Amino acid sequence: DADVTQTPRNRITKTGKRIMLECSQTKGHDRMYWYRQDPGLGLRLIYYSFDVKDINKGEISDGYSVSRQAQAKFSLSLESAIPNQTALYFCATSDSADKGRNQPQHFGDGTRLSIL
C-alpha cells in the first residue's frame, strides 16, 4: 500500500463547482503539503501544515483552502473551481526531525484535475 494516498486520481468538473481533494498518509509524519504542477513551471506550494493546529499559506494559495482533520489527513478544497486551476495536484509529507531541514518530502501519486 502507498504511504501517501491521494483521492481521487482523476477528476473532471465544471467551472464554479466545489471540489475537494483528499490526502492521507501512513508514515506518521507531522508535516503535510499541497502542491500543483503545471508544464514548464515545476511544482508550486499551495498550503502546508506542520501539525493539526498549524496551517500556512504557500506561494499560490488564492482560490484554495485546506483542512487538517487529523495528523494523517490533509484535504485541499477549491471553493469555486475555474479553468486555470486545471493542473496536477500533489500531496507530500515530511518528518519534523532536525526541524525538517534535511528531511525529504514523500509524495503521493497525484490528482489530475480538469476544470471545463
Render the chain in DSSP notation, one character per residue. --SEEEE-SEEEE-TT--EEEEEEESS--SEEEEEEEETTTEEEEEEEEEETTEEEE-TT-TT-EEEEEETTEEEEEESS--GGG-EEEEEEEE--GGGGTTPPPEE---EEEEE-
Q: What is the nearest approach in angstroms of another protein to the Cβ of residue 64? A: 17
Q: What is the nearest approach in angstroms of another protein to the Cβ of residue 80? A: 27
* Binding of another protein by 46 (CB under 8 A): no
Candidate residues 4, 21, 81, 113; the one interacting with another protein per rule CB under 8 A:
4
Contact, 106 vs 5, CB < 8 A?
Answer: no
Candidate residues 12, 17, 18, 41; the one interacting with another protein per rule CB under 8 A:
41
Q: What is the nearest approach in angstroms of another protein to the Cβ of residue 47? A: 12
* Binding string, residues 51-90; x marks residues near another protein by CB under 8 A: -----x-x-------------------------------x
42-51/106-107 β-pairing: unpaired
Binding site for another protein (CB under 8 A): 4, 33, 40-45, 48, 50, 56, 58, 90, 92, 100-110
